[in-house]
Amino acid sequence: MTTVGILGGGQLARMMALAGAPLGLRFLVLDTVADACAGQFAPMVVGDYTDQDALQEFASRIDVATFDFENVPAESAQWLTARVPVFPNPRALATAQDRLAEKTLFRELGIPVPPFAAIDTREQLQAAVAELGTPCILKTRRLGYDGKGQFRIKSPGDVDAAWDALGAQAAKVGLILEGFVAFQRELSVVAVRGRDGEFRAWPLTENWHVDGVLSASLAPAPVEDALRDTALAHASKLAEALDYVGVFALELFCRDGELLANEMAPRVHNSGHWTIEGSETSQFQNHLRAVLGMPLGDTRMVGHACMLNWIGAMPDADAVLREAGGHWHDYGKSPRAGRKVGHATLRANSRQELAEALRRIGDALERGAQVAPVIERLV
Ligand code: AMP
């Protein structure tokens, strides 16, 4: 019997446990809170990610360790590596945790990025804003997610407000200033690399964010083959450079036909949730296959899929459950503003059918604004 240890017990760990059940896998989840939603499907160790006793118990009960949460301290990942196989490796994790390190690597690999500068002081910020121009975005280098830890600088007059908001973070987690990309579309590559180096990617996904949080994903993204090939080549190069094992996502901005890399997530990703029903092998199962050294599953998809995130509270399920291609995911979390509590995936055989299903869901759940940009892309 094989037990997979997962650091972090949120919805990603929960969906991983569900995907691993048919493979006969057992799971153990380490999380800081006892009511983490993966705990509804897997036994847990409750403790801090730096707690030696918790880590010791966790390591003694598992065969391999992986992550649902990328901000596990790199030292804890390193400590575990001495005791059990850990995938992805701590170097990949550390790189992806730091916006400056990852953008520097992208650039070294020839993957285009928005202009950026490391910021330690108010004077550096002043100078960098003058050089990069406005608008631009000041972000924390580490521990930011879903648009948190970011300040948009619209004009040079905003420098003081930006420093007041985030300056205190400079000494703690570091800061990075990025040029604002007036993109037309946001895309992501969700891909997997096996222990033997085999690389597979799912069809490119197009994403829509609201207030920095993913709202909807569409696959396959309606893009030209050349653009898709470039995106996949970037992801493959990145995985190779980091000797990456498991699933990851590369988030890209598309501006005037050019791709610019925003960030990578060293884990299964929200923009890949549609793969559960929309492709031959889900990102969750392929992640497990990769970390366990099993053959990777086919990433081909059948038809078209759209995922809608439910943020804050779950809507009524019936409208989605009535759809032939409707799939409901309730993460078993209590409602809270801004919290990802579930999602729905709609799958259809044609773009037209998918657009019609989205229109029905948008009307029934009063989510017209959420589905509108996806429908516009489909018709
Ligand atoms: P992030 O946390 O870096 O993924 O940012 C969350 C969202 O903010 C992205 O998905 C974009 O919609 C937006 N965003 C982040 N960085 C930039 C940028 N340099 N230019 C334009 N929009 C951005």
Does ligand 1 lie within 6 Å of residue 370's CB atom? no
Residue nearest to atom 2 of ligand 1 (CA): 147
How close is the Cα of 137 to the center of ligand 1, in Å? 8
How close is the Cα of 150 to the center of ligand 1, in Å? 9
pLDDT digits (tens, 9 = 90+) for 94-130: 999 999 999 999 999 999 999 999 999 999 999 999 9
**CA-to-CA distance for 96 and 94, rounded, in angstroms?**
6
Report pLDDT for 302. Answer: 87
Do 235 and 305 fall into the same domain? yes
Do 164 and 295 fall into the same domain? no
Average confidence (pLDDT) over 3-26: 98
Q: Is the pLDDT of residue 145 over 90?
A: no
Reported confidence tier of residue 4, pLDDT bands at 50, 70, 90: very high
**CA-to-CA distance for 180 and 88, rounded, in angstroms?**
30
Domain that residue 164 falls in: 115-179
**CA-to-CA distance for 129 and 155, rounded, in angstroms?**
9
Domain total for the chain? 3
Report pLDDT for 97. Answer: 94
Whichever domain contains 38, its CATH number is: 3.40.50.20
State which ligand 1 atom lies nearest to the alpha carbon of 145.
2
Do 139 and 280 fall into the same domain? no
Do 239 and 374 fall into the same domain? yes
Instruction: Answer yes or no: are the C-beta atoms of 127 and 177 closer than 8 Å.
Output: no
Do 338 and 259 fall into the same domain? yes
How close is the Cα of 146 to the center of ligand 1, in Å? 9
Do 191 and 167 fall into the same domain? no
Output b/e per residue, 67-106; b: 16+ Cβ within 10 A. Answer: bbbbbbbeebbebbeeeebbbbbbbbbbbbbbbbbbbebb
Ligand 1 binding pocket mutation candidate from 184, 262, 264 (most atoms within 8 A of CB) = 262
pLDDT digits (tens, 9 = 90+) for 164-188: 999 999 888 999 999 999 999 999 9
pTM across the whole model? 0.96
Do 225 and 287 fall into the same domain? yes
Residue nearest to atom 17 of ligand 1 (CA): 180
Residue nearest to atom 1 of ligand 1 (CA): 147
Report pLDDT for 70. Answer: 87
Residue nearest to atom 18 of ligand 1 (CA): 180
Average confidence (pLDDT) over 28-39: 98
Report pLDDT for 116. Answer: 97
Report pLDDT for 328. Answer: 98
Q: Is the pLDDT of residue 74 over 90?
A: no
How close is the Cα of 213 to the center of ligand 1, in Å? 9
- Out of 142-151, 242-251, 331-340, 352-361, least confident range: 142-151
How close is the Cα of 33 to the center of ligand 1, in Å? 29
pLDDT digits (tens, 9 = 90+) for 234-290: 999 999 999 999 999 999 999 999 999 999 999 999 999 999 999 999 999 999 999
Report pLDDT for 146. Answer: 64
Do 285 and 350 fall into the same domain? yes
Report pLDDT for 144. Answer: 73
Do 330 and 266 fall into the same domain? yes
Q: Is the pLDDT of residue 147 over 80?
A: no
Do 346 and 310 fall into the same domain? yes
State which ligand 1 atom lies nearest to the alpha carbon of 181.
20
Question: Does the residue 129 lie in any domain?
Answer: yes
Report pLDDT for 336. Answer: 97
Who contacts 105 (Cβ-Cβ below 8 Å, separation ≥6)? 95, 238, 241, 242
How close is the Cα of 212 to the center of ligand 1, in Å? 7
Q: Which two tokens stand for residue 174?
A: 């570091």
**CA-to-CA distance for 334 and 253, rounded, in angstroms?**
33
CB atoms within 10 A of CB 123: 10
Report pLDDT for 212. Answer: 87
- Report CA Rg, the chain: 20
Does ligand 1 lie within 6 Å of residue 19's CB atom? no
- Closest-CA residue to 109 (of 233, 257, 204, 245): 233
Instruction: Answer yes or no: are the C-beta atoms of 308 and 216 closer than 8 Å.
Output: yes
In the predicted model, what is the mean pLDDT of the chain?
96
Of 147, 179, 211, which residue sits at a domain end? 179
Of 123, 151, 179, which residue sits at a domain end? 179
Q: Is the pLDDT of residue 210 over 80?
A: yes
Does ligand 1 lie within 6 Å of residue 156's CB atom? no
Instruction: Answer yes or no: are the C-beta atoms of 248 and 258 closer than 8 Å.
Output: no
Ligand 1 binding pocket mutation candidate from 253, 260, 269 (most atoms within 8 A of CB) = 253
Do 155 and 25 fall into the same domain? no
Reported confidence tier of residue 88, pLDDT bands at 50, 70, 90: very high
Average confidence (pLDDT) over 322-337: 98
pLDDT digits (tens, 9 = 90+) for 277-329: 999 999 999 999 999 999 999 999 989 999 999 999 999 999 999 999 999 99
Of 86, 107, 139, which residue sits at a domain end? 86
Instruction: Answer yes or no: are the C-beta atoms of 310 and 331 closer than 8 Å.
Output: no
Does ligand 1 lie within 6 Å of residue 263's CB atom? yes
Do 220 and 340 fall into the same domain? yes
